[in-house]
Amino acid sequence: MPVQSIAERTLVPAVGQPAPDFELVNQFGEPVRLSALRGRNVVVLFYPFAFSGICTQELCEIRDNLAVFDDTDATVLAVSVDSKFTLRAYAEAEGYGFNLLADFWPHGAVAEKYGVFDAVTGMALRGTFIIDSDGLIQYVVVNPRGQARDLADYREALAGLAG
């Protein structure tokens, strides 16, 4: 039986739906549970791989503009299928001050819950989910392969939550 793309098997959660809960370990091996962050806005960013070009560009832009997120009481959770060990080295190399979460095992299970796991390539797509303080999805975008996300889009979506 041929492997199906995730788009054929799972739908991306829509705006207004409750965000699927998950618990993953961060780069330090500490558990991070989405539902434990209720009361804050959360930006969940799925990205393909640590140390890759576009991913590093995107996460460095977030690192350099964390005030955009802090000003709207938003926590950034960046999720990839890499191991916590890889993510720790990546965070140290790039100076990331936010959680990098390991969707390592079962491989891509959380990305699959969010409809952004590509089983053919074994990686997460560039999916962005902005979740409000009540746990509802308020913004969703899945970028095509090779296309970086735009920080201005985050600013706009988060400004709408702050208002």
The residues annotated with a catalytic role in the active site are: 55
Which candidate, 44, 48, 47, 27, places its Cα nearest to that of 35? 44
Secondary structure (DSSP) of 73-142: TEEEEEEESS-HHHHHHHHHHHT--SEEEE-TTTTTHHHHHTT-EETTTTEE-EEEEEE-TTSBEEEEEE
